[in-house]
Amino acid sequence: MFHRNTCAADICSRIVSVAYPELAIDEAARVMREHHVGCLVVVEAVSEEERHVVGMLTDRDIAMGVVADAHDAQTLRIGDLMSRDVVSVREQDTVLDALALMRQKGVRRVPVVGVQGLLIGILAIDDILAILAEEMQALAAAIAAAQRHEQAIHR
């Protein structure tokens, strides 16, 4: 359930498609296709389980940086095309704060980071929209039930 104080960590996906800066762009595209995602969070490993966010690579980055510029996807690396100015939210940031930041920066997905910028998940506008749609359906059902109740009383 969505509340004003719902945190990014409460609704973010903990399953994140990640890649390393040295991965070839053609491999990155294959990973995106296999995982059915439009972006990869680019990380550097701090340890086996801890990863620090260093960039984002989107399918649009590939289309514009490789296809439109007629580059060889086998010779380019993620580090060549990724966005280094990553817009991320902290796990304790509210969903409303995350939405405001996403709107301000013009992004649809943001990594959710914990202590010291370590990756814990990813939050997409689609995730927020799905929760809000459920809330709207519950609200519509409550209104319909109240109307049925009112009609039954007045019969």
Domains and CATH numbers, the chain: 8-124 (3.10.580.10)
Amino acid identity of residue 115, one-letter, is V
**pLDDT tens digits for range 64-85:** 988 877 788 889 999 999 999 9
Tens of pLDDT, residue by residue over 87-123, are: 999 999 999 999 999 999 999 999 999 988 899 999 9
Quick one: DSSP state of residue 64? Answer: I
Q: Which two tokens stand for residue 55?
A: 């960039």
What's the whole-number average pLDDT of the chain?
91
Q: In this structure, what are the phi and psi dihedrals at residue 93, rounded to the nearest 5 degrees?
A: -65, 140
pLDDT at 1: 59
pLDDT surpassing 80 at residue 3: no
d(CA 126, CA 128): 5
pLDDT at 52: 93
Of the candidates 22, 61, 58, 67, the residue with the CA atom closest to the CA atom of residue 40: 58
